[in-house]
Structure 1
Amino acid sequence: MEEKIKLSPDSFQPLPKEEELDNEKIAAPSLTFTQDAWRRLKKNKGAVISLFIILIMVIIAFGSTPFIDKSTLVKSAPQYANLPARVPGLDFINGLNGKLKVGGQWVDQYAQNGASGKYFYLGTDYLGRSLAQRIIYGTKISLIVALVATFFDLTIGVTYGIISGWKGGRVDNVMQRIIEIISSVPNLVIVVLMLLVMKPGMTSIIAAIAISSWTTMARMIRAETLQLKTQEYVLAAQSLGESPIKIAWKHLVPNLSSIIIIQTMYTIPTAIFFEAFLSFIGIGISAPETSLGVLLNDGQKNFQFLPYQMWYPAIVLCVLMISFNLLGDGLRDAFDPKTRK
């Protein structure tokens, strides 16, 4: 038998009044959903670094437009062809001082081409055009394609998904069969069909994105809408006579914001790679216009002897896609902590 321990009144001491009130206080600050998500996002170092990299690339791509003469992007200068990178103050680093290894020896290509006073920070291509300027402009094209894909995701995808999930029944069934038909056609086939009525370039890529890029967003929004429309606050709004448009704008869209933001972050790198792939195989943006895919296509032709012409645009494309993917993972964990393992 265990002995029972008896406590006397002397074993208890009253709590001072000033401490009694402090124990009832809530120490944690009151945060909104957005503030709490931002607090969690800041803890993800990879996502924060990716966010800053994306902002820097966006600023450089769009902010440098007034300083880049578009005619120099397509105008050839044979006297400066295939020059390696040359950066002021880095004459001691081979590969960044205008020297190229030829026959086992480092040769000053700028002196040989009569361009001693010139500086091309990333070198030039086979027509003597500045790679740095073409990469910056190509990054801008890739970001424009990403913005277009985001626009169609936010307009067609979100609207289509909400209508399909809200209506349900036969309307939902028909709308989902339409999505399945669109999704069953490969994007490459859609682009080829667009080329029959359009010229290769941004227009055909945008048309292909407008036709097929929004289907994933629509499916995700539709699945979440099916759950949200049975919630009490939505039913209460219906009983008070609110129109479906107001219910969607005031109740559904705010609760779908996390899914919209996360899916958008995954749509952007997909669109960037889609444009680069099409331009690389020659059915997207074509020379003399520039994009990251065009630069990769041009660089791979001389990769054995001038690898830098392919490495630089490839690095920019990889950094851009990895940054958006890491930011998307960080936003997913920030908006929905339950998804973290």
Structure 2
Amino acid sequence: MADEVKLTAKSFEPLDRSKNLDSEKISAPNLTFMQDAWRRLKKNKSAVIAMVILILFFIMAILSFFPSVLPHQPNAINTQYANLPPKWPGVDINGVNGTLVQGGSRINAYAQAGAASNVHFWLGTDYLGRDLLSRILTGTRISLTVAVVATLVDLLFGVTYGMFSGWKGGRVDNFMQRLIEIIMSIPTLVIVVLLMLILKPGMWSIILTIAFSSWTTMARLTRAQTLELKEQEYILAARTLGESPIKIAFKHLLPNLSSIIIIQTMFTIPSAIFFEAFLSFVGIGIPNPTASLGTLLNDGQKNFQFLPYQMWYPAIVLSIIMIAFNVFADGLRDAFDPQTKE
């Protein structure tokens, strides 16, 4: 036949490797789930900025443990320097040059207080002459410590409770969920008051209050995800092979629950910070003279009409921390969701 094709021996020779044929090459990088989540997170600029801001706040909070790092002692009282405005050395701009308006005219508050030329307070002082910058750094550390420790307790108990409830199922699960509903029905302020009657007002009573009232959300989310995961083929295969429930929990359940645990944790921390600030603001949280963002707001609102900076600075710090945590949590939620469009 005229259109018959004849194959020669050369037709079966191997292709030249130097031609770099990529017809079946997989161009996507070989990434694990966490590596892919980190890649997605880095593309979210706002989440990265929020993460950097939070890292800076945590570094400043850690450094505030060392008194030598602070400009002044946070609880040192000096009534001579009471209610001094902010003063930045070498800067002559109203608001940060140590002057304020009094009686319709601008005066040098530092000269009027008899302060030496080398005395300056970057964010001013409060009504007892305590340095606001030092107290804000210390208050940020205490607020972050309360929130992080309470969240860790919430994480440990809530995840364990939710996994056990979802794994057991049946009547055990039904009883445990009814118990959660009872706890959620109790107002948080009632829990605070009851704990204050038993414990002294302070950091640990607030930590116990936040941990006791916030673990239920983590438990319910973990339980719902566990109910879904325990029916997966790899879980059924592990149970068939005789793996213990504890080993299945650590080897299979926890890695697959990591995304929802991390995201919920990032949402729990700012809520705990705000709750601690609220309790301290109304006077049933961190007691004086210990500084926290809530006590600083409480002190600042007393002179807000005449010295607004005493309330503005701690309010700005609290707002930045809250916004950064929420933006970062949103970024983590998008990063851990494989269905998110890039």
Under a length normalisation based on structure 1, what TM-score does the superposition of the two structures give?
0.92
SS of the residue 1:74 aligns to = coil
Q: Which residue of 2 aligns with 1:191?
A: 192
Q: Which residue of 2 aligns with 1:122?
A: 123
**What pairs up with 1:1-341 in 2 under 5 angstroms?**
21-66=21-66, 67=68, 72-90=73-91, 92-115=92-115, 116-338=117-339
Post-superposition shift, 1:63? 1.4
Deviations along 1:210-237, whole A, 9 cap, x unmatched?
3222110000000000000000000000
SS of the residue 1:226 aligns to = helix
Q: CA separation in 1, counterparts of 2:20 and 2:120?
A: 72
Q: CA separation in 2, counterparts of 1:122 and 1:237?
A: 60
1:340/1:214 CA distance change after superposition, 3 Å: farther
Q: CA separation in 1, counterparts of 2:313 and 2:59?
A: 19
Q: CA separation in 1, counterparts of 2:88 and 2:287?
A: 29
SS of the residue 1:26 aligns to = coil
Asked if structure 2 preserves the Cα contact closer than 8 Å seen for 1:141 and 1:291, the reply is: yes
Which runs of no fewer than 5 residues in structure 2 stay unpaired?
6-10
Q: Aligned residues: percent identity?
A: 66
Q: Which stretch has the larger CA shift, 30-39 or 65-74?
A: 65-74
Q: CA separation in 1, counterparts of 2:30 and 2:70?
A: 51
1:69/1:54 CA distance change after superposition, 3 Å: closer
Q: Which stretch has the larger CA shift, 194-203 or 241-250?
A: 194-203
Q: Which residue of 2 aligns with 1:3?
A: none
Deviations along 1:256-283, whole A, 9 cap, x unmatched?
0000000000000000000000000000
Asked if structure 2 preserves the Cα contact closer than 8 Å seen for 1:54 and 1:320, the reply is: yes
Asked if structure 1 preserves the Cα contact closer than 8 Å seen for 2:296 and 2:314, the reply is: yes
Post-superposition shift, 1:104? 3.2
Post-superposition shift, 1:71? 9.6
Asked if structure 1 preserves the Cα contact closer than 8 Å seen for 2:301 and 2:311, the reply is: yes
Q: CA separation in 2, counterparts of 1:174 and 1:29?
A: 47
Deviations along 1:269-328, whole A, 9 cap, x unmatched?
000000000000000012111100000000001000000000000000000010000000
Q: CA separation in 1, counterparts of 2:113 and 2:221?
A: 57
Deviations along 1:167-223, whole A, 9 cap, x unmatched?
000000111011111111111110011111122111220121232221100000000
Asked if structure 1 preserves the Cα contact closer than 8 Å seen for 2:222 and 2:257, the reply is: yes
**Equivalent AA in structure 1 for residue 244 of structure 2:** S
**Equivalent AA in structure 1 for residue 103 of structure 2:** G
1:20/1:70 CA distance change after superposition, 3 Å: closer
Q: Which residue of 1 aligns with 2:8?
A: none
C-alpha root-mean-square deviation of aligned residues, in Å? 1.9
1:195/1:59 CA distance change after superposition, 3 Å: same
Q: CA separation in 2, counterparts of 1:68 and 1:32?
A: 41
Asked if structure 2 preserves the Cα contact closer than 8 Å seen for 1:152 and 1:213, the reply is: no
Q: CA separation in 2, counterparts of 1:146 and 1:26?
A: 45
Q: CA separation in 2, counterparts of 1:89 and 1:71?
A: 20
SS of the residue 1:101 aligns to = strand
Q: Which stretch has the larger CA shift, 176-185 or 61-70?
A: 61-70
SS of the residue 2:101 aligns to = strand
Q: CA separation in 1, counterparts of 2:307 and 2:72?
A: 25
Asked if structure 2 preserves the Cα contact closer than 8 Å seen for 1:80 and 1:128, the reply is: yes
Q: CA separation in 2, counterparts of 1:193 and 1:43?
A: 46
Post-superposition shift, 1:21? 2.6
Q: CA separation in 2, counterparts of 1:212 and 1:96?
A: 42
Q: CA separation in 1, counterparts of 2:327 and 2:84?
A: 35
1:25/1:71 CA distance change after superposition, 3 Å: closer
SS of the residue 1:28 aligns to = coil
Q: CA separation in 2, counterparts of 1:164 and 1:339?
A: 30
**Equivalent AA in structure 2 for residue 42 of structure 1:** K
1:174/1:339 CA distance change after superposition, 3 Å: farther
Q: How many residues align?
A: 327
Deviations along 1:93-127, whole A, 9 cap, x unmatched?
11111111223322110111011321111000000
Q: CA separation in 2, counterparts of 1:192 and 1:162?
A: 31
Deviations along 1:118-137, whole A, 9 cap, x unmatched?
11110000000000000000
Asked if structure 1 preserves the Cα contact closer than 8 Å seen for 2:225 and 2:257, the reply is: yes
